[in-house]
Amino acid sequence: MIDLYTWTTPNGRKVSILLEELGVPYKVHSIDIGKDEQFAPDFLAISPNNRIPAIVDHETGRSLMESGAIMLYLAEKHDRFLGEDRWATIEWLMWQMGGVGPMLGQVHHFVKYNPGKSAYAEERYSKEARRLYGVLDKRLTARDFVAGEYSIADMAIWPWISRFEWQQIGLDDFPNVRDWYGRIAEREAVQKGYDVPHHVTPIPLP
Ligand SMILES: N[C@@H](CCC(=O)N[C@@H](CS)C(=O)NCC(=O)O)C(=O)O
């Protein structure tokens, strides 16, 4: 059994989507980051960076923080969703971890939650968001999924794109991203994983 510590955010949903895709049993523990539950000593023992998601795998005794590490661990353990070209999968997973997550996170912070506080930051991160969407759109020109077949890289990127409205991005401007987003949104495991630890809204559709 796996314990998943998570909240209703893109980084949390990445892991619940993967667990649903794998079909392995897991127990959900809500860590409400709006109430600072990520700073509780019990949680810090598992996730010393005070961030969700984190897991404890009781079968192996391993605990892990950082969504990318968790996804690689689970994919390797079950030998699934690493794609036919493992290094392409890792490459695009790292692209999400190093670029999409941090940059779109800044868009949410400045554009969605603190508009008007810093025109510079709003412009900088919005521009970066459009650049990243452009990179993804180009990558998806000749393939259905970022590493060829559906993999943990898609599962890592997709929850960030599901916030396209927060980012004031029109998906019709990026047709390959729009189609890829729709293909993934149709998956039952994605719909279930999106609602962990609880339902907030239906999956936004363009
Ligand atoms: N690089 C980390 C980022 C995790 C992260 O930023 N989690 C956010 C929610 S999406 C969080 O827990 N924030 C709590 C805080 O900032 O104190 C990962 O991918 O797991």
Q: Which residue owns the Cα nearest ligand 1 atom 15?
A: 51
Q: Render pLDDT for 140-183 as a digit per residue (tens, 0 to 9).
A: 999 999 999 999 999 999 999 999 999 999 999 999 999 999 99
pLDDT in tens, 44-68: 999 999 999 999 999 999 999 999 9
Task: Give the chain's domains with CATH numbers.
Answer: 2-80 (3.40.30.10), 86-187 (1.20.1050.10)
Determine the pLDDT at residue 9.
98
Distance of CA 52 from the midpoint of ligand 1 (Å): 5
* Ligand 1: lining residues by beta carbon, under 6 Å: 9-11, 33, 38, 50-53, 66-68, 97, 101
Q: What is the torsion angle, in degrees rounded to the nearest 10, for the CA atoms of residue 45, residue 40, residue 10 and residue 139?
A: -30
Is the pTM value of this prediction over 0.95? yes
pLDDT tier at 138, thresholds 50, 70, 90: very high
